[in-house]
Structure 1
């Protein structure tokens, strides 16, 4: 998992633990199915996936006990050498149950890891529904190591799978489409009509289906939701879990062709070299299989079905219809942001009812909700009470946290179509928000007072950005839209202010350099591969904290107003994410607030600031540590051979040819760096900066008498506002590396700031070692990110996996 995603997941997990709804421990001496003791209190659990309540069935317990007594607690030998006597019997019963040829595995994860690299080798391709079980992704990554091509398609756009698969089928021996039979969060079922269309695209297309949550509660002998609706033939392989409705543990793969089963059994790594299932669990499996093959399974399925119907009808009567209404025992009730789901879960637990918060990364960040599952063991009274409390808590929490019904319906529109309902009226808290699409509608003095020096976004700088990135005929990455927001209280005092820019960015903007190089290779065929429309504070033409908050006022309410405006902008543009950038570390109050609003805290590169307390350059240099002064001596000597000219409003002019040359110097440097991976800058950027009083260009030349060329060897563009000098763009001629031009240019930043009597030099991100030499202080910063869904993240993760795989291969070769 990418480290940024890991951090996001950890933040949410920690929040759930603080609220007392995650990582709970049952405290019972003996369990009896649906009832648990949590925090010294008995609760009714709607969290179990044991849909038929078979874990206490006498046949399973007796089977487990008998197997343990006869064969011991373990049979520690690979099946490649010798198998426990129960294996053959259990696989025979399972083959009868599923109507195919069954191969046992200790878990579904190990089943996927064994099967997928064997079924799909370097000649083949795998196409994954991006919301297929994580264990399938694990198996696909194992296949990738051997050269299998792996692609993803969005869960809510599965209809696009046909085009993707058709293209791959013409280039590969075989293409596998991997889906779930029942999706474990929303409870929606595999779209069988679409799967028939997928198979019709080409005869070399096959299906690989994980029906972990579909087994037992439906189908002949409980063979599962998928096989109840789709035939098992030579183009289909099904994985089944026994750790849910089956009441035991382990898994199996079901094949129509015994030769294919034997190929996986004899070649699948985890089955060849891993440990087998233990005898007691094999005994439980045998007992459960016998129940499934008896008339009793129909009675259990009917008992569960009446409870599923009761919940569906009860929820509909209460006005909280699940996102997917079918015969699945999984119910998902929309809440939106994690904080809403967490609060409903907490109130349900306080009422003695255990339900689950389903939040990111199991579902997209703003499509969280309550997941509850029903079993055949639940009583009607328990079901009715759960519905009653859900009908009370969900609307109350939504209302208290300011979530309108229409807003919630809109967030889930792409997952399940729903009728639009009216928004709830906003409560008047005395705050008023001013919104503008151009800086010319904002008072200059007000804007520069709150944000002029904080980032490269003074009034004049934003006016220039609008001119540079406002051309309608420019490529998509150079067409930006701006939304300026100022929130004032009843006294007209500014409580909050920011600018949101809607723009196209690369999803790997802050990814590891090796990952960006891999993705850039793919962009040779598709320029906008893994590129997303984002609504961000500031833009890619600025660095710094673009968010002004007066923390002595009602800042939370003000920030919510601005986030709501960002949401509107995001929906209008079809954006994939909202990003609040470059905020300072060490603000737990803000962290908690943003997490409640569905944002994850993502670390980014440190920024660097040089404070000029000294009156001149000599005093600044003298105040440096001895080691830093020693490191800069050579730089100062090289600087004696250079001269700098300054260009911009009221300064020396610059010709178009010179601007083009300087642009080339910037690209020369940027093409070697991928720590911050952005689209190329427009050719109109430098000329546009030269017409703005907010910017100046410093151009570095080596003197002719020192052997310098006639053309510049370096330049920078700096934002000027108040007492802050903020270089942003930097370009150097790598041919003059021996002259320390990069460091010499940074030295000229310091000299220019001193000459302008400025107190701070904001040096920005990257090149931390170089900037530290000049006395700059590193500052830890973060961004807050809320994504519409995790599809781009899944694609990025796929690229990360490929890079890691290649590194393993190269290391092995070494």
Structure 2
């Protein structure tokens, strides 16, 4: 009954990447006929390459190419047989060389790093283990952990590099699990920062059950003795450490590497390794290239190449320091991140830098929070100091031009990335002689006719409707039952409204729209910690309203200026309410300003569909059925609704007594307890009694014929032209036996018809059921901005958890 459409992380990513693709800064195609690593040809423009990860620039090294050709000539294009039967002869030579790089530790070579993680984790992790993921550990590590959950392994997540949180999880799980694994990157791929190695070594020595699993894909090759990477030498003496890396970055080849400190763990992976036994080996050409690369790294040339790269890094670090930009990267790695803040700044900056002939990467949500997007680039030996001068000059110039053109506050960007600001604020406010902003904290401060002309036909938030809602969600004991109300109206100099809306601020459950099984997991934790995974949220509309909450006069010549002011006011409200989440909601697919909202740092997400029934006047049940086009739906209504209709007493009440108010609330709680499809805090117990004080609200009461107690109630708002049933309460004993839910839906439609309304807002959930009565199901979207993505990433990681 409560089935709804949930937002999909993949849909969000699809939309974000598609937006970047349309702006020609993501999903680009390289057009060069010959690749030398120094340049990329994109859209017929030759760009200096600051975007690839071949840090030592070995891709076309003569020795590597010679070894690749040698093995290709000797063994052909492929050795097509499973490792479980016969191991390719050339792999022994490569694994022996790679082992030398890692102080003669045993290694296994894979076709890719992703396959490596799937194989190793699938082999060494047991149901009795605990996995603790760093928030920013690479996706190729997180993905196989989803499968580990299916076997019963507990998987948790900590905030990025939070050693305090990590030790707390270790302590709490120490007597419960056989092994506790912390999974992290040796060099984090987005910001180029590093794990806390000293603290991790301390925890490793302190807790014998504690194990480390590193993905050092971005560290191996360009640093460490013989290219062993950023973490190996620190942890090579502990048998409780596993290191995974790649041949595809610092090595200038392709493939994955697993390095083991524990020989028994190595033996288990080598003898079977799960997916390893069913995967073809690297091709001879790729192995030849990797052998050539390993030979270079084991020679003096390897150290020379490392020193050359580090010289370039020092040069670049000095140049960036002189610029005092929003550089959040570690100066110890060749990965750099310049924070732009909102997407509009980042996209503008990247387009400008690329126009100057330099290729750089785009970092946006969900990899980073909405308002913490930025320009990411990498440094390789293909680059020269002249290239660096060009890059730094371009970023330094265009960073300020992008901020200026997008009318953004420069100081705000620096504060976002916690970097000291030394300049002057650059924001250019809209000419206040043209656009006027009015803000209020109560609907009583706003003229009734002005507000109702904008919103009275959109849901339960007419002027009087909001007076009721303000009374319900004020002066309550529990923090989650109290909302702040914020009204915003933007007019021109002639007092004509251009933009108007209202917001509520309060405590939201972060799993509001999560899958039900995830919310059920979280609710178990909330039995001990009631506000677990909850955030202060500023939301357009409220959790007691639905419909179009934002009025925009699209034809007004100052609509863009008004929207600019709107977002400035939203940011002010966010700060004033100490909110970490902002939600702008209930937009349909034809909304004109999607790109405008995204440029302000909001990500588009799917909401549950809404169902609206247009009322065509009818007098009898037979006439109603004639309006239903589907024969199956007609039969369904006759069989499950009309057949039982005479067994109920249905009444509608504008006022109710205390006993009824309490009983209606209890019926609502029945539904609330069993339904986590939209997960929110329960409403104040005074809600039913308060609603009965306002003439716009009424209660549908359904009793068994001749019965004394309601078995169903619905709380509905009566607008001038619409009917809006908002809350349903049920006695579940009769839902199946008497088809009570179906009966309630029909009676609501019947009531709207009796009241001569033009439409019924039937709300979220049960789309298929409501469509039987003529409902049009309308997809809705929201726009969300998060200060921190940790809670959403943690919730996303809770899928595929074994129930128990």
TM over 0.5: yes
1:367 matched to 2:365: no
Please tell me whether the aligned partners of residues 612 and 620 of structure 1 are also in contact (alpha carbons under 8 angstroms).
Answer: no
Please tell me whether the aligned partners of residues 498 and 553 of structure 2 are also in contact (alpha carbons under 8 angstroms).
Answer: yes
Compare 164-173 and 758-767 and name the one that shifted more.
758-767
Counterpart of 1:55 in structure 2 is 59
SS of 2:461 mapped into structure 1 = coil
Q: Deviations 1:22-78 (Å, cap 9, x if unpaired)?
A: 222222221111112222222211111111111111121111111111222222223
Residue 759 and residue 141 in structure 1: after superposition, are their counterparts in 2 closer, same or farther (change >3 A)? closer
1:716 matched to 2:718: no
Q: State which of 345, 353, 358 in structure 2 corresponds to 1:353.
A: 358
Task: Name the structure, 1 or 2, with higher relative contact order (CA <8 Å, separation 6+).
Answer: 2
Cα RMSD (Å): 2.5
Instruction: Return the offset for 1:321.
Output: 4.6
Instruction: Return the offset for 1:196.
Output: 3.1
CA–CA separation in structure 1 for the residues paired with 2:99 and 2:286: 18
Normalised to the residue count of structure 1, the TM-score between the two structures is: 0.92
Counterpart of 1:544 in structure 2 is 547
Compare 12-21 and 600-609 and name the one that shifted more.
600-609
CA–CA separation in structure 2 for the residues paired with 1:748 and 1:103: 67
Counterpart of 2:727 in structure 1 is 729
Instruction: Return the offset for 1:176.
Output: 0.8
SS of 1:688 mapped into structure 2 = helix
Q: State which of 624, 632, 647 in structure 2 corresponds to 1:621.
A: 624
Equivalent residue runs for 1:553-568 within 5 Å: 553=556, 554-568=558-572
1:7 matched to 2:11: yes
1:209 matched to 2:214: yes
CA–CA separation in structure 2 for the residues paired with 1:259 and 1:743: 61
Residue 631 and residue 137 in structure 1: after superposition, are their counterparts in 2 closer, same or farther (change >3 A)? closer
Residue 633 and residue 262 in structure 1: after superposition, are their counterparts in 2 closer, same or farther (change >3 A)? closer
Q: Deviations 1:691-711 (Å, cap 9, x if unpaired)?
A: 23332222233442xxxx211
CA–CA separation in structure 1 for the residues paired with 2:71 and 2:731: 76
Q: State which of 492, 497, 501 in structure 2 corresponds to 1:494.
A: 497
Please tell me whether the aligned partners of residues 617 and 754 of structure 1 are also in contact (alpha carbons under 8 angstroms).
Answer: no
Please tell me whether the aligned partners of residues 697 and 716 of structure 1 are also in contact (alpha carbons under 8 angstroms).
Answer: yes
Please tell me whether the aligned partners of residues 146 and 799 of structure 2 are also in contact (alpha carbons under 8 angstroms).
Answer: no
Compare 525-534 and 331-340 and name the one that shifted more.
525-534
CA–CA separation in structure 2 for the residues paired with 1:577 and 1:267: 46
Q: State which of 252, 255, 261 in structure 1 corresponds to 2:257.
A: 252
Compare 523-532 and 683-692 and name the one that shifted more.
523-532
SS of 1:8 mapped into structure 2 = helix
Residue 754 and residue 70 in structure 1: after superposition, are their counterparts in 2 closer, same or farther (change >3 A)? closer
Q: Deviations 1:657-689 (Å, cap 9, x if unpaired)?
A: 221111122222343433323333321211121
CA–CA separation in structure 2 for the residues paired with 1:629 and 1:255: 66
CA–CA separation in structure 2 for the residues paired with 1:5 and 1:437: 35
Counterpart of 1:791 in structure 2 is 790
Please tell me whether the aligned partners of residues 162 and 197 of structure 1 are also in contact (alpha carbons under 8 angstroms).
Answer: no
Counterpart of 1:174 in structure 2 is 179
Q: State which of 25, 29, 32 in structure 2 corresponds to 1:25.
A: 29
Counterpart of 2:759 in structure 1 is 760
Q: Which residues of structure 1 form unaligned runs of 5+?
A: 808-814
CA–CA separation in structure 2 for the residues paired with 1:469 and 1:41: 58
Instruction: Return the offset for 1:332.
Output: 0.5
Q: State which of 657, 661, 667 in structure 1 corresponds to 2:669.
A: 667
Q: Deviations 1:221-265 (Å, cap 9, x if unpaired)?
A: 121122355554223221121111111111212222322211222
Please tell me whether the aligned partners of residues 7 and 601 of structure 1 are also in contact (alpha carbons under 8 angstroms).
Answer: no
Please tell me whether the aligned partners of residues 457 and 542 of structure 1 are also in contact (alpha carbons under 8 angstroms).
Answer: yes
CA–CA separation in structure 2 for the residues paired with 1:670 and 1:790: 27
Q: State which of 57, 69, 73 in structure 2 corresponds to 1:69.
A: 73
Please tell me whether the aligned partners of residues 500 and 566 of structure 1 are also in contact (alpha carbons under 8 angstroms).
Answer: no
CA–CA separation in structure 2 for the residues paired with 1:622 and 1:225: 72
Q: State which of 141, 145, 164 in structure 2 corresponds to 1:159.
A: 164
Q: Deviations 1:473-495 (Å, cap 9, x if unpaired)?
A: 21x43232222111112222111
Counterpart of 1:306 in structure 2 is 311
Counterpart of 2:773 in structure 1 is 774
Q: State which of 610, 614, 624 in structure 1 corresponds to 2:613.
A: 610
Please tell me whether the aligned partners of residues 134 and 184 of structure 2 are also in contact (alpha carbons under 8 angstroms).
Answer: yes
Please tell me whether the aligned partners of residues 34 and 48 of structure 1 are also in contact (alpha carbons under 8 angstroms).
Answer: no
CA–CA separation in structure 2 for the residues paired with 1:194 and 1:570: 36
CA–CA separation in structure 2 for the residues paired with 1:694 and 1:424: 48
Q: Deviations 1:573-611 (Å, cap 9, x if unpaired)?
A: 554432122112223x32222222232322222212223
Counterpart of 2:453 in structure 1 is 449
Size of the aligned set, in residue pairs, is: 791
Q: Which residues of structure 2 form unaligned runs of 5+?
A: 1-5
Counterpart of 1:676 in structure 2 is 678
1:338 matched to 2:343: yes
CA–CA separation in structure 2 for the residues paired with 1:718 and 1:484: 24
CA–CA separation in structure 2 for the residues paired with 1:234 and 1:571: 48
SS of 1:799 mapped into structure 2 = coil
Equivalent residue runs for 1:133-152 within 5 Å: 133-152=138-157
CA–CA separation in structure 2 for the residues paired with 1:421 and 1:484: 34
Residue 91 and residue 715 in structure 1: after superposition, are their counterparts in 2 closer, same or farther (change >3 A)? same
CA–CA separation in structure 2 for the residues paired with 1:319 and 1:576: 27
Equivalent residue runs for 1:234-633 within 5 Å: 234-413=239-418, 418-419=420-421, 423-429=425-431, 430-471=434-475, 473-474=477-478, 476-553=479-556, 554-587=558-591, 589-614=592-617, 621=624, 624-625=627-628, 627=631, 631-633=636-638
